Each structure stands twice: as structure tokens, then as C-alpha cells.
Structure 1
């Protein structure tokens, strides 16, 4: 089983969480993080994971001897988990937006 890919995905999730949790630039010139760029990067990672998993599944179904079932299943599961994570992020963003719009000024 390929644990390197799973560890890499976990590392990417942690990096994304750290980038999203970082504070904007302070007066001393610290670098700020643009939330839209972080979100766009995460969306691209999810899309790439799904594309890679789909391609590997097609290679396996075409009979490619270099692709085994275990790797296909792991990649499909990673793509599914990353998509589910992105859906949860979207749900929380929508909830936060609705909460802000319902605030009285």
C-alpha cells in the first residue's frame, strides 16, 4: 500500500490549514496570505487528485500491467476525501457569509 501519497496529502492539508490560519501582514513587514489564492490552490489540488485518480482507474481498466488495484483504490479514496473536505470548507464559508449578512449594524 502506498503510504507516501497519503502522508503527502496530509502534509498538504496541514500546509493549507496553516496558511489559512496565518494572520495578515503586520507593521513590521511580515508576509500576508491571500485567502482567495489559498482557496484556489486547494481547489486545484482537489481537481488534480480527481484527475489523477480517474486516469489511473482508466489505465487499470485498460489492462496496464504497471498499475495495480491497490494504488487505484488508494488514489480514488484520496480524491474522494479531498472532495469531501472541500465541500465542508464550502459549507462553512456559506454559513459564515450568511451569519455576517444577518448581523445587525
Structure 2
């Protein structure tokens, strides 16, 4: 199962890099710059909560776009052909499944931490 998740995540990253999306351009960690007084300042990288929120918003946007394209196809819009609708629906399905898998992993990690002996 771990191999399947890793495979899906690598496919998502490859797709984002091909599309030139925000995830391909975002740094992997939080960069901290230290000024002359030794104080650390955050440099442009969002925190975990912001990154998670952005990812969920992106999934929601993908689902909304797929729904709009599906509705346009059903109404007979000539620009919405069946192939585009099916690809958009599959993209939204993969994005949703990946989001659910990340949620499951976070819940499992939380439960593991809570069950650790002190």
C-alpha cells in the first residue's frame, strides 16, 4: 500500500511540474533567514497549515471545474467534448483520493503519537 501511495504522490508531483503549478515552484521546507542580531525570520515559505489549506482549495477547485465541464457537456456546449470531461473527472477523482489518503495518514500519525507511552 505504501508503494501505491508513493507512486500516486510521484505522479501528482510529475503532473504539477509539467503543468508548472504552484507545488512545483514552492520550496519543500520553511526557509529561515537569520539577521545580524541572531533573530530568525520566516522567508516566503508557508507553514504546514497554509500548505494544507492551499492543497484542499486546489482539490476543491479541480472538482468544481470538472463539475462545470460536465454540466456544459450535458447542456450540449460544443467546446466540452466527452474526452475532456472524462479526463477532468478522473483528475478530480485522483486528487480527492490523494487528499483522503493524506488525511488518513495524518489521523494515523496522531493516533500513534497519542498512544505512545510517556
TM over 0.5: yes
User: Equivalent of 1:10, from 10, 13, 16?
Assistant: 16
Computed over aligned residues only, the root mean square deviation of the Cα atoms, in angstroms, reads 2.8
Q: Which secondary structure does the structure 2 equivalent of 1:25 belong to?
A: strand
Q: When you count helix as a share of all residues, which structure comes out higher?
A: 1
User: Which consecutive aligned stretches of 4+ in structure 1 deviate over 4 angstroms post-superposition?
Assistant: 6-9, 26-30
Contact 1:24 1:33 (C-alpha < 8 Å) held by counterparts: no
Q: State the TM-score, normalized to the length of structure 1.
A: 0.77
Q: When you count strand as a share of all residues, which structure comes out higher?
A: 2
- How far 1:66 moved relative to its partner? 1.3
Q: State the TM-score, normalized to the length of structure 2.
A: 0.69
Change (3 A) 1:42 1:50: same
Work out the number of aligned pairs and report it: 98
Structure with more contact order per residue of length (Cα contacts < 8 Å, sep ≥ 6): 1
Unaligned runs of 5+ in 2: 1-11, 36-40
